[in-house]
Chains A and B, each alone.
Chain A
Amino acid sequence: MGRTGWLLIGGGAFLFLLFAPLFLRGYWLRLLTNMFMFGILAESVNIIAGYCGYLALGNMLFFGLGAYIVAVLMAKFAFSFTLALILAGLGASLFSAIVGLPILRLKGQYFLMGTMGLLELLREITTNIPLTGGGQGITLPIFPGGAAAANHFFYYFMFALMVISIACTFYISKSKLGYAFRAIKFDEDTASVMGINPIPYKTLAWAISAFFTGMAGAAYAYWMSYIDPGEAYQITPSIKMYLMMVLGGGGTVIGPIVGAFFIEFISELVWGTFLELHFLILGLILVLVVIFMPKGFMDLLRKGISFSKLMAGVKENRV
């Protein structure tokens, strides 16, 4: 498929989603909103993990942080949503930069463990201080104007944020920044001998990732109008967003979005029918993806889907 083909599909999907609230209601709108949210989360993981090579498996920590910043500012200090939202994005970024200085020195699975540790740490802190409402959680002001208005608002909010995150990733992929990220992903020593100072670049990659994740968390808290530590800092979505990125293709612009839509949709179908088997099926998908298309769905699409290509993927895996 050529460039025009992709543009047509992309443009068609954009227009469909833009006007979907005119003919879709309730359940379907909420499902799509959820898909957009996971699109944002997967794209955010993509920036730090797919492009920069840092296995940020605990990225949910910025989601929780964003959610709690908005919740506390709106519920306890009567901030407007807009202001609280911006502060949530910036707060998550700032936090990533502060913790990034020590933990971005870790590589591979050590970094992965570091991010998971931070996730646990934030959950424990949030559970144990009064400001956040502790383990009981915190209730936010209800979105004014009723359920239908809220559905539309959060639909368009998540949609816009997802489009912005795609645009941001597209810009990165075409810019000097993208070259620096990809060089660092391959090998940090080589990158630095080529004149790249890795520290500011990887800090920036994580800060961008945290910014979008924090904003998504902030909107989620307001959407649900209630948040508790167990949900805000949950490990499952953290793994899920990573899986979505791998499935769609890390280091591609649109792959993580495709992965997010696919998994969220399957998830919803499976969840509805087999509650107990949910994780088993998700796990099975992960195993199949890693075996047959280690570079993700986008790579396969680009090369054309065929049996021989799938087997080539299997071969590539055997290092």
Chain B
Amino acid sequence: MAILEGHRVTKSFGGLTAVFAVDFEIEEGEIFGLIGPNGSGKTTLLNLINGIFPVTEGELYFLGQRIDGLKPHQITRMGIGRAFQIVRAFEGMTVKENVLVGSLFGTKKRKDIGTGMKEVEEVLDFVGLRAKKDHKISEMTIADKKRLELARALVMNPKLLLLDEVMAGLNPREIDDLMEMIIEINQRGITLLMIEHVMKAVMGISKRIMVFHHGRRIALGSPKEISENEEVIKSYLGERFARRHGAQKDGGKT
């Protein structure tokens, strides 16, 4: 069953069309990758799903319920969590307080601070930030901030988790750790929609991948199909990538 469906989803900012007539279906339980050059509309699509921007045209359905037109907080409480690309942790709050906000407000359940804090501890354990729970945001490394973004999204008990370039700025070891964590999250039954530029990660763990170029969907398929798709190679992956991955149907010019 599709957990999230988009029908001809379109977003224009004045004369600029950032996302144009995109159709997609994300299956429950899968890891769905979203790739494309910078400025191709990937983050805009996440903002549409979240309700941060209203869609210009088209429809979005989450578990069969229409969600375009709802406010971000309503969409969050239905079960769509989000980890931002640029870490947006609340400065001036500690790590655990940051996660607590998600726990207190991110679900339909009403909770007091005590119950919320218990959930926070569990999630911090999972992402490996327990020892740093009283740290200030300004004292944290990029890798830890990314984990915090993940913790803030996870504590809201999402059914679908939107990850926006969580690997960006990490070193190879940190990327491996985070990949493991993402697979574990997925195994717990959470569907993932992941924007990623780190090809090793997105090709390695996605079940299916959608490719954007200038706001249009130019391909959708398994990682293998995507890495062999001529249009994708031309507009995004580049021939070096294609060669390295042995998909040289079109790449032998040099």
Contacts and interface: CB of A to CB of B under 8 A. Distances in A.
A179 B97 contact: yes
Interface stretch (B60-68, B82-90, B170-178): B82-90
Nearest to A184: B90
B91 interface: yes
A251 interface: yes
Interface string B70-89: 01111011000010100010
Contacts of B100: 179
Contacts of B152: 194
A187 B90 CA distance: 8
B156 A195 contact: yes
Given A176-B113, A193-B50, A183 B71 contact: no
A175 B111 CA distance: 11
A196 B73 contact: yes
A236 interface: no
A187 B84 CA distance: 13
Contacts of B105: 176, 179-180, 183, 194-196
A251 B92 contact: yes
B191 interface: no
Contacts of B52: 189, 192-193
B73 A197 contact: yes
A141 to B, nearest CB: 47
Contacts of A190: 84, 88, 90
Contacts of B181: none
B97 to A, nearest CB: 7
Contacts of A175: 113
A252 to B, nearest CB: 11
Contact of A194 (B71, B74, B76, B112): B76
B102 interface: yes
Interface string A193-230: 11111000000000000000000000000000000000
Nearest to A186: B90
B84 A176 contact: no
Contacts of B72: 189, 192-193
A182 B92 contact: yes
B218 interface: no
Nearest to B93: A182
Contacts of B71: 192, 197
B104 interface: yes
B104 to A, nearest CB: 5
B91 A186 contact: yes
B106 interface: yes
A179 B111 CA distance: 13
Contact of A195 (B92, B97, B107): B107
A255 B156 CA distance: 33
A193 B82 contact: yes
Contacts of A193: 50, 52, 72-73, 76, 82, 84
Nearest to B107: A195
B101 interface: yes
Contacts of A195: 73, 76-77, 102, 105-107, 156
A190 B106 CA distance: 12
Q: Which of A194, A196, A197 has the most chain B CB within a 10 Å cutoff?
A: A194
Interface in A141-189: 175-176, 179-180, 182-183, 186-187, 189
B69 to A, nearest CB: 15
Interface in B45-65: 50, 52
Contacts of B74: 197
B93 to A, nearest CB: 6
Contacts of B102: 194-195
A194 B50 contact: no
Nearest to B72: A192
Contacts of B76: 192-195
A180 B102 CA distance: 10
A303 to B, nearest CB: 12
A183 B92 contact: no
Given A193-B82, A197-B73, A176 B104 contact: yes
Given A179-B101, A182-B92, A186-B91, 6 more contacts: A192-B73, A193-B76, A194-B101, A194-B156, A197-B73, A251-B92
Interface of B: 50, 52, 71-74, 76-77, 82, 84, 88, 90-93, 97, 100-102, 104-107, 112-113, 152, 156
20 contacts: A175-B113, A176-B105, A179-B101, A180-B105, A182-B93, A186-B90, A190-B88, A190-B90, A192-B73, A193-B76, A193-B84, A194-B101, A194-B102, A194-B105, A194-B152, A195-B76, A195-B106, A195-B156, A196-B73, A197-B73
